[in-house]
Amino acid sequence: MKKLIILMWLIVLQLHVIASNTGKISGRVFDAKSGTSIVGANIVIKSLNIGTTSNKDGYFLLSDIPSGNYEVMVSCLSYVTFTKKLSIKPNQTINLNVKLKESSESLGEVTVLGKSHARQLQERAMPVSVITMNEIQGTVSDINDVLSKTSGIKIRATGGVGSASKISVRGLEGKRIGIFLDDSPIGDQSDFVGINDIPIDLIERIEIYKGIVPAKLGASSIGGAVNIILKEYPPKYMDASYCIQSFNTHKITGVYKRNNLDKGFEYGIGGFYTYSDNDYTMTTPKEYGSRIVKRDHDKFKKFVVGGGVTFSKWWFDEVEIEPALIITDKEIQGIENNIQEAKTFADAYVLNCKNKKKDFLISGLDLIFNNTYSYTIFRHKDAALNRYNWDGSTAVPVSNYGGEIGSHANDSRMQKHTFLQRTNLNYILNNTCSINLNSQYYYVKGIPVDKLKDKVVGHKTNFNSKMNSWISGLTFEYNSINKKFTNAMAVRYYSYNMNSILGDHFNSQTRKNIDIHKTDWGFSNGIRYRFTPHFLGKLSASYDVRLPAENELLGDGFIITPAVNLVPERNTSLNLGFMYDMSKSNQHKFQVELNGFYMHLENMIRYTAGPLQGLYTNFGEMKTLGIEGEIKWDATNYFYLWGNATYQDITDSRKYDPGSAAPNPTKGKRMPNIPWLFANAGFEFHKENFFGGTEQNTRLFGDCSFVEEYFYDFEVSDYQERKIPRAITFNMGLEHSLKSNSIFLSLQINNITDEEVISEFNRPLPGRNFGAKIRYVWK
């Protein structure tokens, strides 16, 4: 391993390029007459062929500009183009505020150069969807609602606010999908992710990678990745909001930032609080009486607070120090039985330090060095002395010591010490080539304690464990001089080590020391070719692996036991796509994208239940063949339309039953509990000063979601009833902003027709529900 690290460093350090120190241009674009912010204005340096666009608040940033004298052009449809000559000095940030005057002239070729970062991402060689802040601003939805409206993506929730949910990208889900916040992995690698806790107001954009994940993210994610990019706030900024929704749901969010450029530092603090009763009515499964009942044990509370300070005058260009505290309480709602006492509690203490340095060791080499430590305590308490049925009758607990879930009582406490070290080196060789080296080291020590379960079993069954993993990736990217052809090739190396003790539930004398070390590798390549200025094609392939996640290997201390023989999953993925883009700006868009994809997943890891605890095993293999399409269109200056559809045929390709030579009876059958056909469509009407006055903006939006009927168990008979019915839902919302986007008022109604929606192994979701939100932004 050490030789490989040294070799990679030598590759980077021996490359040579003559590059100058760079500077930045930041600022804001206004309407000269009204003083309102201009969204989607193009800021371009033509001599360098670089550009960007202003965001919803009019802010923009051009970075990595070599020292020298340049002419900056700022333009937008219906405005007179603004030009200014600027002199860029090393490590200098120039503040440029621009007021544009109205005009009927078009932008010409400038719009081609001034592409937003989101459009540049979408035109990369790998399949990726980008959701910008303009598409989600002002809604009272959460991230799950936003993601579920994207082609190829399905969110399968188990209940209301705070309930577990799985992200499915082209049929691959759970730990196969990486979750990132500003390029750094988040979550506890469990089956269910917690990105829904991140408030919409804090997000700049969401990047969704499908099938192929950039090596720079450094994760073992073979199905795809969701990368949430938080906002870059202006020097002085405050953002506060309050949202109230059905089922006694309340969400409070606040952010404050201030900087002192003269002294070289900035600081900020932010957080949010979420509470919900989740007490909607539902119909229990047929086998449990099909009763209409009210959920009365699903309360959810989460409190998050974090701060940060950034220093910019040290040896590093930026040093960010960020502590955070997360507290979560969640009642467990029963579906088959009326659970009344089981709960989970989770506390997390996090400290993150990120360092950035341009021209590290040699000119042109950029470094990001990030370290994160977290201490978490997860508690699961299930010790009720009675069980309750939905008809009001009672039953004895699952063990002599109580319990409503599984086969024994629990009062478990899992402590974890986690350390993540991420190093990213990016080197621009010349005008056409760049190289990126990413290294990610992950360490976890788990300390499980469950004295109540030990009493039930009669001896100790859970033991301390630790895991080390290292993932490194090397990416080489080539872009032709005329920008028509792009090729990105990546190689990854994986290594992990696990140490623990495996106990026997039925024999206290049988214990086995576990010490596992495994390595593997992966490869991916993406090609993009621009046939015309508006039409491009993509072809990508990967042969990659996913390391078993921490809780798959180590267990969770109460439901999942350690799995000692797991081998990494391997996925072969192919994607062929085409994009037609006639967008003139972020506000004048016409974009059509079509992708076909194939995947073959081997050594698939799947949870298997046991008499007292379950464990993860290598289930077998499955194949996927699918197609997805999406269209986005600004039909007029005020009316925006969008729609997408996905078909994915995911089949069981195992030849034999696990552990036997008997033919597999479900070979060729569609995999259960995964939607195979779904579509979304929506509209938005937006207009300034629609109700009169000045500095106001109104948005009316609506969308429809369709999911075809699918089975949550293998279809082995024409009379199969274990299926989730077809669902069509409609949502509608209104947002009105005042005082140049300083005050936002939002209303939304979800599931207007009160459709019965079932998801994730026959779990009922909320019916018609409402939300209202007020937000204030000071800058």
pLDDT digit string (tens) for 387-416? 988 888 888 888 888 888 877 788 888 899
Distances (CA, A) of 534 to 131, 406, 579, 582, 716: 20, 57, 8, 6, 48
Sign of CA dihedral 633, 634, 636, 641: positive
Would the pLDDT of 658 be above 90? no
Q: 644 and 150 in contact (C-beta within 8 Å)?
A: yes
Would the pLDDT of 761 be above 70? no
Band (pLDDT 50/70/90 cuts) for residue 68 is: confident
Distances (CA, A) of 267 to 26, 231, 272, 350: 19, 15, 18, 17
**Mean of the pLDDT values across residues 562-567?**
74
Structure tokens at 440: 């990610």
3-state secondary structure of 359: coil
Q: Alpha helix (H) ranges present in 543-679?
A: 550-554
Of 347 and 14, more confident: 347
In percent, how much of the chain has pLDDT > 70? 85
HEC assignment per residue over 307-323: EEEEECCCCCCEEEEEE
Quick: pLDDT tens for 570-579. 999 999 999 9
Of 134 and 221, more confident: 221
CA–CA separation, 376 and 390 (whole Å): 35
3-state secondary structure of 398: coil
Quick: pLDDT tens for 624-635. 999 999 999 988
**Mean of the pLDDT values across residues 297-313?**
91
CA–CA separation, 138 and 748 (whole Å): 10
Distances (CA, A) of 733 to 66, 131, 150, 573, 747: 45, 18, 18, 38, 5
What are the residues facing 2 on neighbouring strands? none
Of 624 and 312, more confident: 624
Q: 700 and 684 in contact (C-beta within 8 Å)?
A: yes
3-state secondary structure of 196: helix
Q: Which residue, among 114, 96, 100, 117, has the nearest Cα to 27 in the 3D structure?
A: 96
Q: Which residue, among 103, 23, 5, 29, has the nearest Cα to 586 in the 3D structure?
A: 29
Q: Give the pLDDT confidence score for residue 363 in this predicted structure.
A: 83
Q: Give the pLDDT confidence score for residue 252 in this predicted structure.
A: 93
- The residue behind tokens 């078993």 is 548
Provide the residue type at 283 as one letter: T
- CATH topology for 2-113 is Immunoglobulin-like (2.60.40)
Of 609 and 344, more confident: 344
- The residue behind tokens 């190829």 is 152
Quick: pLDDT tens for 113-172. 344 555 555 556 667 788 876 666 656 567 877 888 888 888 878 888 888 777 888 888
Average pLDDT, the chain: 82
Neighbouring C-beta atoms of residue 604, cutoff 10 Å: 21
CA–CA separation, 723 and 712 (whole Å): 5
Would the pLDDT of 62 be above 90? no
Would the pLDDT of 273 be above 90? yes
The pairing of beta strand 50-53 with beta strand 249-260: unpaired
DSSP state of 183: T
Query: Is the CATH number 3.90.79.10 carried by domain 120-778?
Result: no
Quick: pLDDT tens for 436-464. 999 999 898 988 888 888 887 777 777 88
3-state secondary structure of 449: strand
Of 562 and 320, more confident: 320
Give domain limits for the chain: 2-113, 120-778
Distances (CA, A) of 300 to 86, 124, 160, 769: 54, 40, 9, 17
Q: Give the pLDDT confidence score for residue 137 in this predicted structure.
A: 61
Q: Give the pLDDT confidence score for residue 359 in this predicted structure.
A: 86
145 CB contacts (<8 Å, ≥6 apart)?
A: 139, 155, 731, 750
Q: 526 and 196 in contact (C-beta within 8 Å)?
A: no
DSSP H/E element including 121? helix 117-122
**Mean of the pLDDT values across residues 15-25?**
55
pTM score, whole prediction = 0.79
Measured torsion, CA atoms of residues 203, 205, 209, 213, in degrees rounded to the nearest 10: -70
Structure tokens at 696: 């106001």
CA–CA separation, 655 and 620 (whole Å): 9
Report the chain's terminal Cα–Cα distance, integer Å: 49
Of 8-17, 249-258, 441-450, minimum mean pLDDT range = 8-17
Quick: pLDDT tens for 314-366. 888 889 999 999 999 999 988 888 899 999 999 999 999 999 998 898 888 99
Quick: pLDDT tens for 498-542. 888 776 655 556 677 878 888 889 889 999 999 998 899 999 999
Q: 705 and 149 in contact (C-beta within 8 Å)?
A: yes
**Mean of the pLDDT values across residues 753-762?**
82
Q: Give the pLDDT confidence score for residue 110 in this predicted structure.
A: 32
Quick: pLDDT tens for 673-713. 888 999 999 999 988 888 888 888 899 999 999 999 988 77
Q: Give the pLDDT confidence score for residue 122 in this predicted structure.
A: 57
Q: 215 and 437 in contact (C-beta within 8 Å)?
A: no
Band (pLDDT 50/70/90 cuts) for residue 1 is: very low
Q: 417 and 444 in contact (C-beta within 8 Å)?
A: yes
